[in-house]
Amino acid sequence: MPPTTRWLVYLLRCRDGSLYTGITNDLPRRLKAHMAGKASRYTRSRLPVRVVYSELQPTKSRALKREAAIKKLRRDQKDLLVVPRRADGGRAGRGSRPAVAIPRGKCR
């Protein structure tokens, strides 16, 4: 599949349980590069990794701003992003309201 003009912000869960945040316009290609140890020095020593969260952004600029906003979140706030959702939109196993508001900044 060719890269699109839409950008993704993504979170990877590493082997040690840490989270890595990045952006791409071709997630399958970027994940393959991570798994080959060629995308990031951070993930290279923490393989394997898996995608646990992604969100579309309309431009690279917005993706970079959202990535920066996510990187500023505390770990517990990042964990709320990756909690699975039920079909009705609620969070699985945690009730319907998040314990911490997740700031989206001005990058909407």
Total tally of structural domains belonging to the chain? 1
Report DSSP state, residue 68. H
User: What is the domain extent for residue 22?
Assistant: 1-108
**pTM above threshold 0.85:** no
Q: Where are the alpha helices (DSSP H) in the chain?
A: 27-35, 41-44, 60-72, 75-81
Q: Is the pLDDT of residue 46 over 70?
A: yes
Mean pLDDT, rounded, of the chain: 83
Q: Is the pLDDT of residue 96 over 50?
A: no
Residue 104 belongs to domain with CATH number: 3.40.1440
